[in-house]
Amino acid sequence: MLKKSLILAATATVALATAAEARDQIRIVGSSTVFPFSTTVAEQFGKTSSFKTPVVESTGSGGGLKLFCEGVGPDHPDITNASRRIKQSEVDRCAKNGVNDVIEVKIGYDGIVMGNSKKAKGMTLSLRDVFLALAKDVPSETDGKLMPNPYKTWKDVNPALPAAKIEVLGPPPTSGTRDAFAELALEGGCKSFDWIKALKKSDKTMYKSVCHTIREDGAYVEAGENDNLIVQKLDANPNALGVFGFSFLDQNADTIQGSKVDGVEPTFEAISDGSYPVSRSLFFYVKKDHVGVIPGIQEFIAEFTSDKAWGEDGYLSDKGLIPMPDDERSQWQTRATGLQNLSM
Amino acid sequence: MTDLASNSAPRQTTERIAASLPRRYARDSRFRYYGLVAIGLALAFLVLLFVSIVSKGYSAFFQTEIRLLIEFDEDRLDPNGTRDPSVLAGADYGGLVKSSLRGLFPEAESRRDRKSLNRLMSSGAGFVLRDMVTNDPSLIGTAQEVWLPAAADIDMLIKGFIDRSKPASERRVNDKQIAWVDALQERDAIERHFNTRFFSAGDSREPELAGIWGAVVGSFYTLLVTILLAFPLGVMTAIYLEEFAPTNRWTDLIEVNINNLAAVPSIVFGLLGLAVFLNFFGLPRSAPLVGGMVLALMTLPTIIIAGRAALKAVPPSIREAALGVGASRLQVVTHHVLPLAMPGILTGAIIGTAQALGESAPLLMIGMVAFIVDVPTGPIDPATVLPVQIYLWADSPERAFVERTSAGIMVLIAFLVAMNLIAVVLRKKFERRW
């Protein structure tokens, strides 16, 4: 046994030395929202090209960019997925570690849906309703000052809504979906109060804490990162409303219905043309220094940005990705295949 | 008076005892009844768990396939007739599937209809044909009837998970597709076959193509590394501490630490692996080698504690007799104590390894929670393990992954039961009582 483990250790060190020198497989990290799309392209790419299938890890947008910016070389990932745009601070971090040339590729849109079971009536919400129902502190009706959220039922929030208890199942703070939900839905409703909007200029941290903090008194239930779980719970509890990605609505259209937000139903078309307010752009970032070093990166970009993948009828739209309009798509395609650098 | 008092005292005691007997019997039988209830409840939950997993998962072992007449047209596959493997691999096999479908249902003429017709078949159908042709180029020029995998949505329809009575906008298959499937059923050209792909393929984003084999191989390499590292180290530590180490403050300290390590949450070992194995030693991410090393750290305390208990159970008379006939201390251990303690040590090792097989938290930190299609061929290839594969499937939006998740759980449980059975058999076979 001792001999065996010594031999194993020896072979392992030799093998590792070679593994660290060269890598013939693309490594992708990043957002769990982009994960289903990135993996689909990776699989197609692996099957149709002579290159190995890329390895895709789901680390979250922030975690992915952190790994991505750690440095250049085969120990670091080649591509990172993000469900938001890269931040200036992350670009700086990248540059500090020698990652200067980054190619940005926008791949399409994702809608965040508030939905409930088909057994109950559909909801028609405004962003203001969503904010008032879910924020920790809301402006009082009488004097406009902030007070802890007093609303118990949807009817309290807006007399036009049903008198049902506010019960929303949504992702926990670690999730990118939660960040985007806070930024798009809550902040969208929050801005409809003029004095809070004015706060954005005078006191940005205050503005953020008012607009992004979700109540913790049980009305918003953290249902885990797993959107499937939320969908199943909605089916079992018709009174609850859920917050999840559009692809889960698309796959479960027989049991779940999406709520109208500001009068727009969450459909493929409405998210694509931007009229549905709670949608975000999805990206991936490529390390330019790895192009030509790790085999297949350019071909992978070409596969991702081909019409058969991200086009209107491409295989990614089957998976729930909402494609960009034609001209925007061709613009991004030229930029991506031409390996143009990111400009903030 | 004094007589009376001394006579009545024993009678009072026996009376008191007699009076209390029914209560004590009742207490006794109540206690047994509580025990039965507890066992019954535990069994009921276990049955509930198994029934829900098996009832959800058994359908994944069957996959709907559609029989198509495929013409392996030479002009389309190999126009120059060179039979060059790279030409054959790059040909448009998806096109063969599409034209065969169109031949079956010529009424689908509009672009939209053709698209929904093509969606009957899995996107992997073309790859099946490609593998057939590359294995046997003589197929070119012939026409063959081939069973090809149907798309996941059609599979769900055939298995009854899609409600035909719902309006078309709420189902993932449209009315035309249902009509085509019914037409195929009349011709016996659509059937459920045993899903061999599930046991031979790696992961896939298409549920009908996804398999557990990649994860099984990944788990195998990970556990191999774990056993090779943890077993010898653990056994040697146990022997030293039990047979050779002096009892002093240092060995006490070591013992306390080992017992504490056994209780450390597994994610902490993952963080350690990330900091030491990946960042400091620069080992590759997602490799079973690193996963095995991390899990070995986690299993080590279990093996040491079980090993020490097994060594302690060997009676001192055996050691003394061996020493008495002139054996050295090393000979005492290797010739007598260790063979007698081996069944207990092995049991501990197998249970520790079974624990490691079900572990996914520490692997998250070292990049083994990843989408990996290729089946790993060695301990440094990127790989994932069974519990992680189950987690990834549970997180996928497609309805067909629900049954695959449960099927994956069944495979994992089968491995765990097998390992625990081996432990029980080993113990029964080699155990000795004194």
pLDDT band at B7 (very low <50, low <70, confident <90, very high): low
> Residue B245 has which token pair?
């180490």
Distance between CA atoms of A293 and A74, rounded to whole angstroms? 9
pLDDT band at A5 (very low <50, low <70, confident <90, very high): low
Which neighbouring-strand residues pair with B69? B145
Distance between CA atoms of B27 and A12, rounded to whole angstroms? 63
Three-state SS letters, chain A: CHHHHHHHHHHHHHHHHHHHHCCCCCEEEECCCCHHHHHHHHHHHHHHCCCCCCEEECCCHHHHHHHHCCCCCCCCCCEEEECCCCCHHHHHHHHHCCCCCEEEEEEEEEEEEEEEECCCCCCEECHHHHHHHHECEEECCCCCCEEECCCCEHHHHCCCCCCCECCEEECCCCCHHHHHHHHHHHHHHHCCCHHHHHHHHHCHHHHHHHHHCECCCCCEEECCCCHHHHHHHHHHCCCCEEEEEHHHHHHCCCCEEECEECCECCCHHHHHCCCCCCEEEEEEEEEHHHECCECCHHHHHHHHCCHHHHCCCCHHHHCCCECCCHHHHHHHHHHHHCCCCCCC
- The answer to whether the CB atoms of B395 and A16 lie below 8 A apart is no
What ipTM score was computed for the predicted complex, to two decimals? 0.80
Lowest mean pLDDT among A339-343, B24-28, B312-316: A339-343
Residues of B numbered 313-352 whose beta carbons fall under 8 angstroms of chain A's beta carbons: which are they? none
**Average pLDDT across chain B, whole number:** 90
**Average pLDDT across chain A, whole number:** 86
Evaluate if pTM is beyond 0.90.
no
The contacts of residue A67 (CB under 8 Å, 6+ apart) are A29, A59, A76, A77, A80
The residue whose two tokens read 């084999």 is B213
Convert the pLDDT of each residue in A247-285 to its tens digit: 888 888 888 899 999 889 998 888 888 889 898 889 999
pLDDT attached to residue B318? 93
In degrees rounded to 5, what are phi and psi of residue B210? -75, 140
pLDDT band at B10 (very low <50, low <70, confident <90, very high): low
pLDDT attached to residue A195? 83
pLDDT attached to residue A7? 57
Q: Is the pLDDT of residue B427 over 50?
A: yes
pLDDT band at A202 (very low <50, low <70, confident <90, very high): confident
**A71 chain-B contacts, CB cut-off 8 A:** none
The contacts of residue A128 (CB under 8 Å, 6+ apart) are A158, A189, A192
- The answer to whether the CB atoms of A8 and B225 lie below 8 A apart is yes
Q: Which residue of A has its CA nearest to B128?
A: A47
**A252 chain-B contacts, CB cut-off 8 A:** 397, 399
Convert the pLDDT of each residue in B319-337 to its tens digit: 999 999 999 999 999 999 9
Q: How many CA atoms lie within 13 A of A184 on its CB side?
A: 23
Instruction: Provide the 3-class DSSP secondary structure of residue B85.
Output: helix
pLDDT attached to residue A317? 84
Looking at the complex, report in whole angstroms how far the Cα of residue B36 sits from the nearest Cα belonging to chain A: 33
pLDDT attached to residue B385? 95
Residues of B numbered 201-260 whose beta carbons fall under 8 angstroms of chain A's beta carbons: which are they? 204-206, 225, 228-229, 231-233, 235-236
Lowest mean pLDDT among A107-121, A318-332, B29-43, B72-86: B72-86
How large is the angle between the packed helices A35-48 and A297-304, nearest 10 degrees? 120
DSSP B278: I
pLDDT band at A20 (very low <50, low <70, confident <90, very high): very low
Question: What is the torsion angle, in degrees rounded to the nearest 10, for the CA atoms of residue B171, residue B175, residue B180 and residue B181?
Answer: 30
The contacts of residue B9 (CB under 8 Å, 6+ apart) are none
What domains, with CATH codes, occur in chain A? 25-110+281-337 (3.40.190.10), 111-279 (3.40.190.10)
Mean pLDDT, residues B19-45 taken together? 95
Is the pLDDT higher at A180 or at B302?
B302
CA B54 to chain centre: 14
Q: How many CA atoms lie within 13 A of A241 on its CB side?
A: 26
pLDDT attached to residue A9? 57
The answer, for B369 touching chain A at a CB cutoff of 8 Å, is yes
**% residues pLDDT > 90 (chain A):** 30
Lowest mean pLDDT among A98-107, A291-300, B73-82: B73-82
Among partner residues B373, B397, B402, which is closest to A36 by beta-carbon distance? Answer: B397
DSSP B145: E
Q: Is the pLDDT of residue A226 over 80?
A: no
Convert the pLDDT of each residue in A136-153 to its tens digit: 888 887 777 788 888 989
Looking at the complex, report in whole angstroms how far the Cα of residue A56 sits from the nearest Cα belonging to chain B: 5
Length of chain A: 344
pLDDT attached to residue A3? 55
> Residue B59 has which token pair?
């359908």
Helix (H) or strand (E) holding B71: strand B62-71
Lowest mean pLDDT among A67-71, A119-123, B44-48, B192-196: A119-123
Looking at the complex, report in whole angstroms how far the Cα of residue B399 sits from the nearest Cα belonging to chain A: 7
